[in-house]
Structure 1
Amino acid sequence: MTQSRALIALAAALALPLAGCGKDKTIDSELSATLTQPVAQVELKVQKEEPGKRTGEEIVAKVCSGCHGSGALGSPKTGDTNAWAPRIAQGYDALIASATNGKGNMPPKGGAADLTDKELARAVAYLANKGGADFKAPPVE
């Protein structure tokens, strides 16, 4: 009798997975989408600034500091009065011309072709003033 009970239990265990066969399986698509969400999401937002409205500090932070912050490629570091002194001695207009046309490893306008002339002058004044100059930058209008 024990053997027959074991045989019945085994038959029941094998038949149980088949009990759901033939039923219409519906999947809740919203639940499925919720359960398969990624762990993280990245949203990119393009924030375009109006040409002519950027300050020298903003431009230096976003464009110039890549090299001038660390002195990369032989650029004078921001705030290094010894490195800036001979450049400042050339005058504000000469520094603007160098920044406009590029100098050494620096591309024209520091690689930011969208800078207006006044914005570039603001950036030059800001950077040079950090190195000991006393240049007056064009105002932001």
Structure 2
Amino acid sequence: MKTTVKAITAMLAMVFAGTVWSLTPAEEKIAERIKPVGEVCVEGQECKAAQSAVAAAAPSGPREPADIYGGKCFACHDTGVAGAPKKGDVAAWAPRIEQGIDTLVSHAINGIKNMPARGTCSDCTDDEIKATVEFIVEQSK
């Protein structure tokens, strides 16, 4: 317990006083275990770790329709939940396909009946949604 208190005290002193001194190996282990999980990046300060994480997470271009379907649409369109037509169910899709691709894309973007706007892909572009609708239609003819 005394070692923990000493390590915390030493860390607080370093933070507030800007002083750096060596910790014992035991104190270093404690400091490693209690270090913050993340850090706050304040605008105007350099935060390279945060910037690289954001850059890595940002999509580099349009996603593949099969990937969008597999990550977003499948939950409803593979199971038929809430009345969603199942991908590949020709009978369920035929009357929808007759309405035309523009209508289907509009329904996917704006929502229809139990399907919310953009389904579950709030970060999809209109072009990605259109390509995904076309993908589902091709699998359902």
TM over 0.5: yes
- CA separation of 1:29/1:59 partners in 2, compared to 1, >3 Å: closer, same or farther? same
- CA separation of 1:32/1:113 partners in 2, compared to 1, >3 Å: closer, same or farther? closer
Aligned to 1:73: 82
Unaligned stretches of 5+ in structure 1? 1-25, 38-44, 133-141
Report 1:109-124 matches (<5 A): 109-124=118-133
**1:61 aligned onto 2:70:** yes
- CA separation of 1:28/1:54 partners in 2, compared to 1, >3 Å: closer, same or farther? same
Equivalent residue for 2:27, pick from 4, 26, 29:
29
> Quick one: distance in 2 between partners of 1:75 and 1:68?
6
RMSD: 2.4
Show structure 1 runs of 4+ deviating over 3 A. 30-34
- How many residues get paired? 98
TM-score, structure 1 length as denominator? 0.59
Identity across matched positions, percent: 39
Bigger RCO of structures 1 and 2 (CA < 8 A, at least 6 apart): 1
SS at match of 2:119: helix
Aligned to 2:8: none
**1:96 aligned onto 2:120:** no
Q: Deviations over 1:34-59 (max 9, x none)?
A: 8x79xxxxxxx773324x51121111
Unaligned stretches of 5+ in structure 2? 1-23, 35-52
**1:48 aligned onto 2:58:** yes
Q: Deviations over 1:4-43 (max 9, x none)?
A: xxxxxxxxxxxxxxxxxxxxxx882345678x79xxxxxx
Amino acid at match of 1:102: G
Between Structure 1 and Structure 2, the one with more helix by share is 2
Which shifted more, 66-75 or 109-118? 109-118
> Quick one: distance in 1 between partners of 2:138 and 2:88?
8
TM-score, structure 2 length as denominator? 0.59
> Quick one: distance in 2 between partners of 1:54 and 1:104?
26
Which shifted more, 85-94 or 110-119? 110-119
Q: Deviations over 1:60-117 (max 9, x none)?
A: 1111111111111100011111111111111111111111110111011113232212
